[in-house]
């Protein structure tokens, strides 16, 4: 007898659903000044987080977020059987250096900004399978390390088109296990790479929207659910333009999500006051919003069922320079409260 | 009832073990001229594999290896429920662009050259858990894309110290599922990041050996096995110097592996004739040697039980330039034949 059931083409249902037991989040000062400022666990004043370079600072964010989650749950790193972690940097530099001292068996992941969904999916799968009683899923991004890698030197002060997003400085860590906690992970819908051939890396929302559409559509059809099954469907970092495209594309496929859709990228910043254009982005965007805000709503019973869909733009500086498209991917995680 | 059992601190035992049903491998011309030349499925004559750049060539390798595996097994991509894939390039460029047309739900992975072990581990876990009946694990590396990213421009013709390795141009793809095939995956030992502070990126064997030691030691103690339980213990790409260190360190911990140890990196090239110094490296090294040679030995009953331990050096060009160490990781996969 299995603890999980394959549903439709690309979804899984967990019979004895694993829980997000606890989580921790750390963000930078700009995120702290945004609309969700009051909800974050730690808001750093120094974007270097006491480190010598941006990449180490991002690693430090991961370490702090996980340490926080462990502390809240009253468990030690030794009790974690698997660590599922990833970030945006080449060769997952933030995860490798940030988490090496944790001394936990580790699966390194790369799903661009969808990594929060990917890591939660594999953590839940492992727990449901009986491969672990307690696991951790950790992701991060840092504005400065991402700009340095993907865009322009910060000192250059380049202009940003309205479709551009602002990489979130932040990390979210989640403890996923058997013990009852904040939210159940009742199922997952694992995304495919979707590539509409868009090449504009300054419009990642446009690049990722088709992937989010594909995953949300697969989730609804696999489970034979209507949109109103979920109180909210929350994408990772599509931003304003990406969400508009998503609503249109899903309407064409018979689903009207307008009244249910939220986007972590759009929730993170106040566009007018903070000059962040289309919204926040980065693995740390959806991870910190989930940890700080979404889980709180679920815990308090404001939302009962949430489909969390982090979205990733699978580009690299090299693929950009070689004139290639920006493929997208999105991983769906079904969250359910106990109230 | 679970289909798997947690064993010791970091191992899993699969009760109804998943199978490597089939595999496919593609290598470059230099690999084809090496000692294992006669075993490879496809040896490319053109290192560009018909593509416009090295990264796309590496992606093409993955596509061809998986297509080969599918063909040998007589299944279609549609029948694969999950794809576990990764490579060495920043943001997993080869996997994303090489496999996007496969249209399979995908978990992107990064474990440097240990990715063949990581992908097989998660594929086996998913199948054993009942999350999938058929999955694929695909990894690759390409000499030129790796040199371009990590080292020097090819045209510069830099000198290589004796401890340096030669990145293998190649990809191996494995179909892991319920149906009886070539070798059972009876268990996995998931590695931790191990960092002895070595900073020499031209001595990756030295950097990775402690991680391989840690994983092999965990495997033997978790399962309470002696070294001779395995016909062979085969590391990924430690090379000559790394293997020497490994033998010494394991002897200090009470295990003499000298008569059982093999290393894919040392098997791949003829050092004297091919000028490859300490051996081959890259995700494609262990993946192609497993697909072409190790699985053949298991299939023919030459080896009954093999502990396959791909090893990864978790460095990036940025971490190198910032003077950071090279942490290692190694993932153990227990393979068993049916003869």
HEC-encoded secondary structure of A257-277: CCCCEEEHHHHHCCHHHHCCC
Q: How many residues does chain B have?
A: 339
| CA–CA separation, A245 and B71 (whole Å) | 38
Task: Give the pair of three-digit tokens for residue B323.
Answer: 């003077």
What's the pLDDT at B1? 46
What is the DSSP-derived secondary structure letter of residue A254? T
Q: How far is A147 from chain B (nearest CA, A)?
A: 14
- Write out the H or E segment, with its range, that includes residue B217: helix B204-222
- Write out the H or E segment, with its range, that includes residue B181: none
Task: Give the pair of three-digit tokens for residue B258.
Answer: 């000298």
Test A91 with B86 for CB contact under 8 angstroms. no
* A-chain residues near B149 (CB < 8 A): 90, 318
* Residue from the list B107, B149, B319 with its beta carbon closest to the beta carbon of A97: B319
Within 8 A by CB and 6+ apart from B319, the residues are A55, A91, A93, A97, B326
| CA–CA separation, B133 and B175 (whole Å) | 10
Test B111 with A112 for CB contact under 8 angstroms. no
| CA–CA separation, B232 and A142 (whole Å) | 44
What's the pLDDT at B197? 93
| CA–CA separation, B309 and B114 (whole Å) | 8
* A-chain residues near B56 (CB < 8 A): 322, 324
Question: Is residue A334 within 8 Å of residue A305, measured between CB atoms?
Answer: yes
* B-chain residues near A324 (CB < 8 A): 56, 97
What is the DSSP-derived secondary structure letter of residue A58? H
Test A88 with B91 for CB contact under 8 angstroms. yes
Q: How far is B118 from chain A (nearest CA, A)?
A: 7
Interface test with A, best of B14, B82, B110 (most A CBs within 10 A): B110
DSSP string, B93-124: HHHHHHHGGG---EEEB-BTBTHHHHHHHHHH
The angle that helices A54-73 and A143-150 make with each other, rounded to 10 degrees, is 140
- Complex ipTM, two decimals? 0.97
* A-chain residues near B3 (CB < 8 A): 2, 129-130
What's the pLDDT at A2? 65
Distances (CA, A) of A239 to A2, A57, A108, A198: 39, 25, 27, 16
Test A316 with B103 for CB contact under 8 angstroms. no
Look up the pTM and report it.
Answer: 0.98
Output Rg (C-alpha) for chain A, integer angstroms: 18
- Residue closest to A194 by CA, chosen among A224, A158, A165, A218: A218
Q: How far is B266 from chain A (nearest CA, A)?
A: 24
Residues of chain A with pLDDT under 70: 1-2
* Residue from the list A56, A110, A132 with its beta carbon closest to the beta carbon of B92: A110
Q: Which domains does chain A have, with CATH numbers?
A: 16-177 (3.40.47.40), 183-336 (3.40.47.40)
Residues of chain B with pLDDT under 70: 1-2
* B-chain residues near A93 (CB < 8 A): 316, 318-319
Q: CA torsion sign, A73 to A78 to A83 to A86?
A: positive
């Amino acid at each position: 007898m299995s603890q999980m059931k394959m549903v439709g083409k690309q979804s899984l249902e967990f019979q004895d659903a694993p829980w997000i037991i606890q989580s921790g989040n750390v963000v930078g000062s700009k995120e702290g000044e945004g609309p969700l400022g009051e909800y974050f666990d730690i808001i750093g004043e120094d974007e270097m987080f006491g480190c010598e370079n941006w990449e180490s600072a991002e690693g430090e964010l991961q370490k702090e977020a996980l340490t926080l989650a462990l502390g809240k749950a009253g468990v030690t790193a030794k009790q974690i059987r698997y660590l599922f972690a990833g970030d945006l940097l080449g060769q997952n530099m933030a995860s490798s250096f940030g988490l090496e001292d944790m001394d936990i068996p580790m699966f390194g992941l790369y799903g661009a900004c969808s990594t929060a969904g990917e890591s939660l999916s594999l953590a839940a799968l492992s727990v449901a399978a009986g491969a672990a009683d307690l696991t951790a899923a950790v992701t991060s991004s840092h504005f400065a390390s991402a700009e340095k890698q993907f865009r322009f030197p910060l000192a250059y002060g380049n202009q940003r088109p309205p479709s551009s997003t602002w990489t979130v400085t932040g990390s979210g860590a989640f403890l996923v296990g058997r013990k009852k906690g904040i939210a159940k992970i009742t199922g997952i819908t694992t995304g495919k790479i979707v590539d509409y051939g868009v090449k504009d890396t300054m419009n990642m929302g446009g690049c990722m929207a088709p992937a989010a559409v594909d995953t949300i559509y697969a989730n609804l059809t696999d489970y034979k659910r209507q949109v109103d099954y979920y109180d909210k469907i929350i994408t990772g970092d599509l931003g304003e333009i990406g969400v508009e495209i998503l609503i249109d594309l899903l309407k064409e496929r018979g689903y009207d999500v307008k009244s249910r859709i939220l986007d972590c990228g759009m929730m993170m910043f106040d566009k007018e006051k903070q000059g962040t254009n289309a919204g926040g982005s980065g693995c740390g965007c959806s991870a910190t919003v989930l940890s700080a805000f979404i889980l709180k709503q679920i815990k308090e019973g404001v939302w009962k069922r949430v489909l969390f869909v982090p979205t990733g733009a699978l580009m690299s500086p090299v693929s950009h320079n070689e004139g290639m498209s920006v493929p997208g991917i999105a991983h769906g995680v079904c969250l359910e409260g106990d109230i």
